[in-house]
Amino acid sequence: DTAVSQTPKYLVTQMGNDKSIKCEQNLGHDTMYWYKQDSKKFLKIMFSYNNKELIINETVPNRFSPKSPDKAHLNLHINSLELGDSAVYFCASSQDLRQGKGSNLFFGSGTQLSVL
C-alpha cells in the first residue's frame, strides 16, 4: 500500500488550461502539504492543511487553489496554467503540525507538470 499517493504522475498541458492534481494519504496523518520542486531541485512549500484547515499559504499565485475534502485528501487545482508553472509538485503528510518534534514528512512520488 502506498502511504502517500498522488495522481497523475505526469501532466502535460497547454498554457491557459486548468488542471488538478489529487493526493491521498493512508497513514492517518492530520497534516498534509503541497511542495513545488523546480528544475534545480529546490523544494518550496506552497500550502499546508491540518485537519482540513489551511495553515500555511506561502506566496503562491491565487491561480493555485488547494482543497481538502477530508484529512486524508488534499487536492491542488491550478487555473490558467503558465509556462513557469512547469515543475514537479509533491504532496506530503505528517502526523501533525509539529514538524520539529518527530513529526516527519512523508512524500508522494510527485507529479511532473509540463506546460507547453
Partner 1 sequence: QQQVKQSPQSLIVQKGGISIINCAYENTAFDYFPWYQQFPGKGPALLIAIRPDVSEKKEGRFTISFNKSAKQFSLHIMDSQPGDSATYFCAATGTASKLTFGTGTRLQVTL
CB of 1 to partner 1, least distance (A): 16
Provide, rounded to whole angstroms, the least separation between the CB of residue 80 and partner 1: 27
Q: What residues does 4 pair with on adjacent strands?
A: 25
Provide the 10 A C-beta neighbour count for residue 47.
20
Give residues in contact with partner 1 (CB under 8 A).
4, 40-43, 45, 48, 56, 90, 92, 97-102, 104-110
Q: How far is the CB of 114 from partner 1 (least distance, A)?
A: 15
Name which of 7 and 107 has its Cβ closer to partner 1.
Answer: 107
